[in-house]
Structure 1
Amino acid sequence: MGYVEGQGLGSSGQGIVNPIEAQARPQGAGLGAVREKTKQARDEEKREAARRGESIEDSSDEEKRRRRKKKQERKTESRSGTGTPVPRPKPKFRTAREIEDAMEGLEVPNVLKSLIDATGKEQRVLTSTAGLMASQEFVSQGEGEAMKIARRARTDLEAFADEWKGLTERKKFIELEEAQVVDELDAYQARLNHLTGLIAAVEELDIFEHEESTASKFNEMTEKVEAMESKYRDIGDEYKLAETVVAAIHPLFRQAMEEWEPLQDPNFLVSNLARLQPILSRRTENGVQQRSSTSPYETMIYTLWLPRVRSALLNDWDVYDPNIATSLIVAWKPIVPAFVYANLIDQVVVPKLSGALKQWKPRSSRRHPSQQDGKFPWWLFTWLEYLGERHTNPKQPTGLMSDTKRKFRVVLDSWSLRRGLINGIELWRDALGSEFDVCLRNHLLPRLARHLREDFTVNPQEQDLTALEDVLRWKDFFKPNVMGLLLVSDFFPKWHEILYIWLTNDPNYEEVATWFTWWQSQIPKEVNELAIVEDEWNKGLHTMNLAAELGDRAAAELPRPATTGRTALPTRQDAVAEAAAAASKAAPVPQAKSAIVEEIAFKDIVENWCVEQGLIILPLREAHPKNGYPLFRITASATGKGGVVAYLHGEVVWVQNKKAKDVWEPMGLEDSLVERAEGR
């Protein structure tokens, strides 16, 4: 085949020289664990590279060069910047005296105080007797043995010194631990004594020296609890002292509640529980207040006190005598939980007040005026300071004052004006606030106007001022310009008419002047000073002067006074009220002789009344089948359904009878219409 030994295969010898060798990899070894190429393969690679004029280096050669380079770098780094080698620190040896001085409490025997100094060129033996630095040369074999003994002694001494140091530090640590354990034992003992005293104090709570009454027992227990709380306050929370006190009080408190008559003795045990509040009302656990459940004290009040008081108020309390019940509430309010107080007010007091208020019938005063005095709800106003916003705000849709406001409107509609002011009118004003003026304007003012218009007559021969005095009694509850409007509307038209008749029938002008002055004195000063009232007086003077100038011709030529005030009067009660309210809020009334009170449609009055009552009035876009008046639906439903069908005529609301559809009943703006609109 042309093979020549020592040369490669092929015509030009470029093939391999030696046969291919196999490199076995150890079992379980991964790549890189051994060299994958055999020596034959590496030699062939080098020969092939040499034939091409290249050189190739073995990885082992590279590794050798790296090791040589690192060795050279270490030699370079070991020298200083100037090339001078850094001297190694000389070992320091302590003498036996230095070791003995450094180790407190360690005594070194004299036989071990001979040490070897091997730091110099010659080895020396250091002895404490011959001087620490006294040197002795070793020249014989015996002295060589002494040096060995001395070196061994020094090594042993160093070991003893280290061990001694460790034992000394261990001793100090044990002493500190011992002192700490002693302090903890003392603290535990003191705490144990403190706790033992607390247990003894708790056990003495139910031991009484006086057995006369429950009150005396409670006084004695209160003193014991106060002393215990003052002495053991620091551990009270940890050992739940509040719960312990409640557990001790509970049997005695139960017995006291069974014997107690709340309405006869409202302050029973109040002072005792008030003194115990610092501990009874404590409800903290690990510094975090717990509100998810009631405390033991709250539970005791809820289960024992509340049923007893509820029973007394429901069965024994006369609602028309509020002082007894309010005394009980005032006394216990600071020491009972808030939710217990709210429960008592909402579930007991308010329902009973509401029931009594419903039984009060103000309209009965017309037939039996004396009955109203005995039923006047002054007792309700006593409770206002103890009730919440829902029951004290008359603007709320529901609540005691909302119901009271409706009753007050009935009072204003039915009260006899001849009787003067309503009983307790100041109480009504304080209780109703701004709603008081609204009620007077909408319900009383129209009645005053009608009373003055229908029951008052100007008669110079025999003047009766009763009706006018009935109206003027209310002047302090209206603004002066409202009273002025009332006089202009219903008094001055009559007065001007009588003045005209007098001046046209051979008058005595001196008597007329006296009559004029007397009438001015009957009107309050603050009303007379109003521009609209002065206008009327000036109008009368002008008529008198004109009559004097005309003389005998006055009967035929004196013009009759215009009845602007009368013709401008609304034909419905509430119209005067609305006009007066608008005038009181508007700018100053101009000095004009024209009508002052504007005509107000009855439909607007009904709409305003429905808004006040929470009702809705909706046009049905239908007409009455007989009279043709438009029909409306008055309802309390937001959907516009239900309620009653009505029409307005003659300043009266005519309501359709639910059973007989062709029957229409007259009805005023009162509670009965509200009940019909609400479907009751």
Structure 2
Amino acid sequence: MLEHVVIPKLSAAVDSWDPRKKVAIHVWVHPWLPMLEQRSIEALCHSIRYKLSSVLHAWQAHDASAHTLLSPWKNVFDSAVWEDLIVRYIVPKLKMALQEFQINPADQKLDQFNWVMLWASTIPVHHMVHVLEVDFFRKWHQVMYHWLCSPNPDFNEIVSWYKGWKGLFPLLANERIRMLMALGLDMMNQAAEGLEVVQPGTTENLGYLTGTEKRAPKESRLPSCHGVLGTAMTDLSFKECIQAYAMEKGLLLMPRVGKFYSGMPVYEFGTVSVCLDPVKPVVYAQLRGGA
């Protein structure tokens, strides 16, 4: 019955399917896949890919229907074929959307950003990370740099802005995305501590990313302790260890402007105020009822 009744009808339906009408073909093809032989699945997939390719060249990033039609096939199409389809038709349009995207803290519109983030779990992660690094984070870092270098920047606004963007990213589990976010946090730390802010794209800035990437450990965990840290992560400074641990836990290590304890700057660590003594090394935390 599968060979003589079901497969001919499925094939005829796929042949008559017009993706421009935005009918989600997976709804009536996927239920049959567990029953079909691989050669029959490959024949159907070949026809579906051909139909999709014939219309995707005209697709624009604002049209979410392409994601609705494509995403259910991610784990059905051969991985190499899927990547080729995505790289050829989807990635260039997403890059274009981010290139047109304006980062404006005073009046932020997120349309293009949201169009791109819709694809975050569908596109192979290395392609998504590259698109974000080149076409989003370069602008994002520049906006933060100029804001921090402006006369009397409002650090509370900048921290809120940073936290807002951090909450919009579904790819924070990716090491490279965490590094790019951490670079923004590092610029905020420099400004809050009265240091010169390193401009994005400079040798020092790029060296930070490359150096952090090379020395990042496979497991970014700090040993549990009560106030005093044991052996820090290999090749990381004491402060960088604390920053890495904070990021792993989804927290910020952010200087509290103008706040000091025994000559050391006070940091916001989640909801706790802390001081870092890199000499001992010791973390001092202000807890309820004392320090």
Into which bin does the TM-score normalised by the smaller protein fall?
0.5 to 0.7
Match in the other structure for 1:520: 166
TM-score by length of 1: 0.26
Match of 2:188 in 1: 544
SS of the residue aligned with 2:22? helix
Among residues 200, 215, 236, which one is paired with 1:561 in the alignment? 200
Matched residues in 1 for 2:105 and 2:156: separation?
Answer: 14
Alignment of 1:478-489 (within 5 A): 478=123, 480-489=125-134
Q: Which of the residues 382, 392, 395 maps onto 2:41? A: 392
For residue 446 of structure 1, give the secondary structure of its aligned residue in structure 2: helix
Which of 50, 68, 86 is the equivalent residue of 1:406?
50
Secondary structure of 2:147 counterpart: helix
User: In structure 2, do the counterparts of structure 1 residues 486 and 345 end up closer, same or farther at CA, with 3 Å as the change threshold?
Assistant: same
The answer for unaligned runs of 5 or more in structure 1 is: 1-328, 331-340, 366-371, 394-398, 565-588, 594-680
Kept in 2: contact 1:392–1:401 (CA 8 A): yes
Query: Which residue is 1:500 aligned to?
Result: 145
**In 2, are the aligned partners of 1:391 and 1:402 still within 8 Å (CA)?**
no
Q: Is the 8 A contact 1:458 1:494 kept in 2?
A: yes
- Shift of the 405–538 alpha-carbon distance from structure 1 to 2, 3 Å rule, reads same
Cα distance change on mapping 1:356 and 1:418 into 2, 3 Å: same
CA displacement at 1:352 relative to structure 2: 3.4
Give the alignment partner of residue 453 of structure 1, picking from 96, 99, 103.
99
Deviations 1:282-318 (A, max 9, x none): xxxxxxxxxxxxxxxxxxxxxxxxxxxxxxxxxxxxx
The Cα offsets for residues 168-200 of structure 1, whole Å up to 9 and x where unpaired, read as xxxxxxxxxxxxxxxxxxxxxxxxxxxxxxxxx
Q: Using the alignment, how far apart are the partners of 1:499 and 1:453 within structure 2?
A: 17
Q: Is the 8 A contact 2:94 2:116 kept in 1?
A: yes
Code of the aligned partner of 2:41: T
CA spacing shift, 1:391–1:466, aligned 2, 3 Å: same
Could you say which residue in structure 1 is the equivalent of 2:85?
439
Code of the residue aligned with 2:201 in structure 1: it is A
| Counterpart-to-counterpart distance in 2, 1:541 and 1:354 | 51
TM-superposed deviation, 1:540: 1.9
Q: Which aligned pairs between 1:216-615 and structure 2 lie closer than 5 A?
A: 329=1, 342=4, 349=9, 352-353=12-13, 355-357=15-17, 360=18, 362=19, 365=20, 372-374=21-23, 376=25, 379=28, 389-393=38-42, 399-420=43-64, 422-425=67-70, 427-429=72-74, 431-434=76-79, 435-454=81-100, 456-478=101-123, 480-506=125-151, 507-524=153-170, 527-548=171-192, 559-562=198-201, 591-592=212-213
Change (3 A) 1:550 1:409: same
Q: 1:590 to 1:350 in 2, by over 3 A?
A: farther
Instruction: Kindly indicate whether the alpha-carbon contact (under 8 Å) linking 1:353 and 1:380 is maintained by their aligned counterparts in 2.
Output: no
1:519 to 1:352, Cα distance in 2 relative to 1, 3 A: closer
Question: Quick check: 1:496–1:561 contact (8 Å CA) kept in 2?
Answer: yes
What's the counterpart of residue 272 of structure 2?
none
Aligned partners of 2:148 and 2:188 also within 8 Å? yes
| Aligned partner of residue 417 in structure 1, secondary structure | coil
Amino acid in the other structure paired with 1:503:
L
**Contact 1:531–1:590 under 8 Å retained in 2:** no
- Aligned length in residues: 205
Amino acid at match of 2:48: T
Counterparts in 2 of 1:1-150, with a 5 A limit? none
Q: 1:374 and 1:530 mapped to 2: Cα distance? A: 34
TM-score, normalised by the number of residues in structure 2: 0.56
- Which whole-Å deviations, capped at 9, do the CAs of 1:538-581 have from their partners, x for residues lacking one? 32233233334558xx6xxx5532179xxxxxxxxxxxxxxxxx
Q: Which amino acid aligns with 1:444?
A: I
Identity of aligned residues (%): 25
The answer to whether the 8 A contact 1:429-1:436 is kept is: yes
Do the aligned partners of 1:449 and 1:486 also contact (CA within 8 Å) in 2? yes
Q: Secondary structure at the match of 1:418?
A: coil
Partner Cα separation in structure 2 for residue 522 and residue 350 of structure 1? 40
Distance 1:475 1:426 in 2: 11
CA distance in 2, matches of 1:563, 1:453: 21
Residue type of the alignment partner of 1:392: I
Q: How far did 1:449 drift?
A: 2.4
Q: Give the Cα separation in 2 of the matches to 1:433 and 1:447.
A: 22
Distance across 1 between alignment mates of 2:38 and 2:180: 47
SS of the residue aligned with 1:423? Answer: helix
User: Which AA in structure 2 matches 1:508?
Assistant: D
Residues 235-256 of structure 1: CA distance to partner in whole angstroms, max 9, x if unpaired? xxxxxxxxxxxxxxxxxxxxxx
Q: For 2:159 and 2:119, how far apart are their aligned partners in 1?
A: 29
- C-alpha separation in 2, matches of 1:382 and 1:531: 37
Would you say the 8 A contact 2:141–2:200 is kept in 1? yes
Q: Deviations over 1:69-120 (max 9, x none)?
A: xxxxxxxxxxxxxxxxxxxxxxxxxxxxxxxxxxxxxxxxxxxxxxxxxxxx
- Distance in 2 between the 1:442 and 1:412 partners? 9
d(CA) in 2 for partners of 1:517, 1:479: 26
How far off is 1:498 after superposition?
A: 0.7
Supply the distance in 1 between the matched residues of 2:190 and 2:160 (Cα, whole angstroms): 17
Q: Secondary structure at the match of 1:475?
A: coil
Secondary structure at the aligned position of 2:90 is classed as: helix
Partner AA of 2:199 in structure 1: R
Change (3 A) 1:353 1:591: same
Q: Is the 8 A contact 1:453 1:491 kept in 2?
A: yes
CA RMSD of aligned residues (A): 3.7
Structure 1 position 461, deviation (Å)? 0.5
Report the AA paired with residue 486 of structure 1: V
CA shift for structure 1 position 433: 4.5
Give the Å deviation of 1:501.
1.7
Structure 1 or 2, whichever has the larger Rg, is 1
| Cα 1:563–1:491 shift into 2, 3 Å | farther
Give the structure, 1 or 2, with the largest relative contact order (CA under 8 Å, sep 6 or more).
2
* CA deviation after TM superposition for structure 1 residue 466, in Å: 1.9
